[in-house]
Amino acid sequence: MSFETPDGDDTKPTESKTITAQDEDHKYPSTAVALTILVSCLFSMFLISLDRTIIGTAIPQITKEFHSVNDIGWYGSAFMLTTCSVQLLYGRIYKLFPVKYVFIVAIAVFEIGSAVCGAAPSSNALIVGRAIAGAGAAGIMSGVMQILVHVVPLEKRPLFAGLFGAVGGISAVVGPLLGGVFTERLSWRWCFYINLPFGAVSVTAVMVLMKNFKPLEGSLPLRQKLSLLDLTGTTVFVPCMTCLILALEWGGDTYAWNNWRIILLFIIFGVLFLAWLAIQAWKQEDATLPPRIFFQRSIVAGFVYNTTISASLMIVVYYLPLWFQAVKGQNPSTSGVSVLPSILSLVVASILSGVFTQRVGYYWPPMNASPILASVGAGLLTTLKVDTGHSKWIGFQVLFGLGAGLGLQQATLAAQAVLRGPDISTGISVIFFGQQLGGAIFLAIAETIFDQKLANSLQDIPGANADAIIKAGAADLQNDVPAFVLPQVLSAYNNAVTATLYLATGAACITLIPALFIEWKNIKSKKKDTGTNVSSTIGSRGKEGTKDPGSEA
């Protein structure tokens, strides 16, 4: 299989033209070079996918070392908050600056964040590291797709897009296992240090082998480039999201919900959000999110769909390992094995939904089946008790995983079916933004629910020191808690975890509403020339043997 293409027309270096992704005049790299670059991209995707799942089984040990059970939600929310805050911004950065170097910088930022997490002396330092890593992860996710456009012809891209999805599934399986092994046999810090060698491999391959493809706007003055980044919108949006997450994190825990600080945070969030919407309406095509794209029926429905189904999944991924370790007394590696039913069923369902859509052409059947199965599975998980047996918690996980897996990729297909040309990349970014946003917001809400439920339940136990039990963390409760109150403490942790699963159930149920508003398009009927148009990101390309004016060797 070769990626090289025959000579195209004679394009002068000073000319620029609109280039669709399937243009035959683009000289793609040789098969060996392309595969090497794409393997490095797979490593990068593995990095960020692993980072989301590996921490789940390590959380009990982290809370034990830092006495930070109240910070559990922040370990996930900080990562996703920065990721979703800059995700759309990265789309514009890649249009204005060389893909190669932006991608390398994104990996470097992610690696710095991972190093900070690994060396963190406190829970606050760990949260800061997670936020830094999240900012880099957003650039990696966007960059991988940009690189794919440059090195692989359109007709071969679905294969590699499928491989990227498979990597996500594999990391979802490997993450909890590695997290358990590292936490139990080495240290939870290796859950973050493992990112460093993978990042080095990716940076080396991209730096050495990939051309420096310059965007069409690459010759613009720096000041003009910065003006096109919608820095005004981003400057408003980041503190907007920060206020929202802080209000959700502090409300009912650090401060009462009616405390003036929480009320003020919600007010500031509302004002900033309205200001951001006004900026988007004012800038139109120069906005981070052009209104005409977002208000397209399938895009706004897909955004809500991915927000809620991803939120449901993230709650289960973060709190189910906690249930196994706190309630069932499992060690980190064993709890990693115990959550495999949900992860493996999710991977299988994702593959099957892709095969179904490719064969039939319609994405709405699995998209509608997803919230039904996921809500039933999550609802059954809320019935977990201290003495629940293997058959039940395995079966409940499988049902939930099948439901979540059926719908995770379908909203992006809907975006590709209803949008044309350069709008497709923006539409997909919106869908992915919803995925990150849902996780950030709902994990913060889940933490508030967990903290309040646990504190209230422990305070009702006669003779129990609620503060001491909470500070001790969720790991080794059987050894850290006096025997005469242990059954009640286990029940308190069980009730706190299942309370978060009610939120996961609600999010899955809500997902059915936007699913009903998705347009019923057939992806097979869409003309090939409506594929991703990259005219705004790359300049003209000449025939083989002629230097690409938009690239440097």
212 — pLDDT class (breaks 50, 70, 90): low
431 — pLDDT class (breaks 50, 70, 90): confident
pLDDT tens digits along 114-140: 899 888 888 888 888 988 998 898 888
User: Is residue 216 over pLDDT 60?
Assistant: no
pLDDT tens digits along 524-553: 665 444 433 333 333 333 333 333 333 443
* DSSP class per residue in 309-375: HHHHHHHHHHHHHHHHHHTS---HHHHHHHTHHHHHHHHHHHHHHHHHHHHH-B-HHHHHHHHHHHH
pLDDT at 153: 63
Q: Residue 442 carries which side chain, given as an amino acid letter?
A: F
Instruction: Give the three-state DSSP class for 255.
Output: strand
Mean pLDDT value of segment 310-317: 87
Greatest mean pLDDT among 257-271, 283-297, 428-442: 257-271
Q: Which residue has the higher pLDDT, 508 or 447?
A: 508
469 — pLDDT class (breaks 50, 70, 90): confident
156 — pLDDT class (breaks 50, 70, 90): low
Distant-in-sequence, close-in-space partners of 360: CB < 8 Å, separation ≥ 6: none
Closest to 432 in 3D by CA, of 42, 165, 132 = 165
User: Is residue 222 over pLDDT 50?
Assistant: yes
Mean pLDDT value of segment 4-29: 41
Q: Residue 303 carries which side chain, given as an amino acid letter?
A: F
Please provide residue 17's backbone torsions phi and psi, each rounded to the nearest 5 degrees: -150, 165
Compute the distance between CA of residue 379 and CA of residue 372 in angstroms, rounded to an integer. 11
pLDDT at 138: 86
Mean of the per-residue pLDDT values of the chain? 76
User: Is residue 113 over pLDDT 80?
Assistant: yes
Lowest mean pLDDT of 169-173, 187-191, 304-308, 323-327, name the range: 169-173
pLDDT tens digits along 237-263: 888 888 887 787 777 667 777 889 889
Element (H, E) at 109: helix 99-118
Q: Which residue has the higher pLDDT, 513 or 480?
A: 513
Mean pLDDT value of segment 365-383: 92
pLDDT at 75: 79
Token digits for 84?
A: 């979703």
Q: Which residues of 9-47 are buried (b: 16+ CB within 10 A; e: fewer)?
A: eebeeeeeeebbbebebbbbbeeebbbbbbebbbbbbbb
User: Is residue 19 over pLDDT 60?
Assistant: no
Distant-in-sequence, close-in-space partners of 117: CB < 8 Å, separation ≥ 6: 126, 129, 130, 133, 189, 192
* DSSP class per residue in 513-542: HHHHHS---BGGGS-GGGS-B-TTT-----
511 — pLDDT class (breaks 50, 70, 90): very high
pLDDT at 89: 82
Mean pLDDT value of segment 318-342: 82
Mean pLDDT value of segment 30-59: 76
User: Is residue 24 over pLDDT 60?
Assistant: no
383 — pLDDT class (breaks 50, 70, 90): very high
pLDDT at 548: 38
pLDDT tens digits along 168-202: 666 766 777 777 778 777 888 888 888 888 788 88
> Under a CB-based contact definition with an 8 Å cutoff, are residues 304 and 514 in contact?
yes
pLDDT at 123: 84
> Under a CB-based contact definition with an 8 Å cutoff, are residues 277 and 13 in contact?
no
215 — pLDDT class (breaks 50, 70, 90): low
Greatest mean pLDDT among 214-228, 385-399, 496-510: 496-510
354 — pLDDT class (breaks 50, 70, 90): confident
400 — pLDDT class (breaks 50, 70, 90): very high
pLDDT at 372: 94
DSSP summary character for residue 154: G
Q: 362 forms bridges with which residues in the sheet?
A: 522
Expressed in angstroms, the distance from the first to the final Cα of the chain is 23
> Under a CB-based contact definition with an 8 Å cutoff, are residues 301 and 294 in contact?
no
451 — pLDDT class (breaks 50, 70, 90): confident
493 — pLDDT class (breaks 50, 70, 90): confident
User: Is residue 475 over pLDDT 70?
Assistant: no
